[in-house]
Amino acid sequence: MTVNVLYAGNPKLWSVYDVELRKALAKQHITANVSADVTPEDVDYIVYAPNGPLQDFTPYTRAKAVLGLWAGVEKVVGNPTLTQHYARMVDDGLTQGMTEWVTGHVLRHHLGMDQYIHRTDPIWHQPAPPLARDRTVAVLGLGALGAAAAQALRALDFKVCGWSRSQKNIAGIDCFSGDEGLRNVLSRAEIVVLLLPKTPATENILNAERLGWLPNGAVIINPGRGPLIDDGALLAALDSGQIGHATLDVFRVEPLPADDPYWAHPKVTVTPHIAADTRPASAARVIVENIRRGEAGEPLLHLVDREAGY
Residue nearest to ligand NDP (CB): 143
Interaction of residue 143 with ligand OXD, rule CB under 6 A: no
Judged by the rule CB under 6 A, the positions of this chain that interact with ligand NDP are 71-72, 90, 94, 141-146, 164-166, 195-199, 201-202, 223-225, 249-250, 273, 275-276, 310
Pick from 170, 12, 192, 178: nearest CA to 106: 192
Whether 225 sits among the annotated catalytic residues: the reply is yes
Question: Contacting ligand OXD (CB under 6 A), which of 4, 99, 278, 290?
Answer: 278
User: Is residue 191 a contact partner of residue 109, using CB atoms and an 8 Å limit?
Assistant: yes
Task: Clarify whether 306 is annotated catalytic.
Answer: no
Rounded to a whole number of angstroms, the minimum distance from the CB of residue 290 to ligand NDP is 16
**Do residues 85 and 303 make contact, with C-beta atoms less than 8 angstroms apart?**
yes
What is the CB-side half-sphere exposure of residue 176 using CA atoms within 13 A?
A: 19
User: In terms of residues, how long is the chain?
Assistant: 310
To ligand OXD, the closest distance from the beta carbon of 8 in angstroms equals 15
Count of other CB atoms within 10 angstroms of residue 50: 17
Binding mask 72-111 toward ligand OXD (x if CB under 6 A, else -) reads: x----------------x----------------------
From residue 52 to residue 71, the character string flagging contacts with ligand OXD as x (rule: CB under 6 A) and all else as - is ------------------xx
Helices 92-111 and 280-296: crossing angle, nearest 10°? 140
Q: How far is the CB of 51 from ligand OXD (least distance, A)?
A: 10
Burial state string for 252-283 with b = 16 or more CB within 10 A and e = fewer than 16: eeeebeeebebeebebbbbeebebbebbbebb
Which residues contact ligand OXD (rule: CB under 6 A)?
A: 70-72, 89, 278
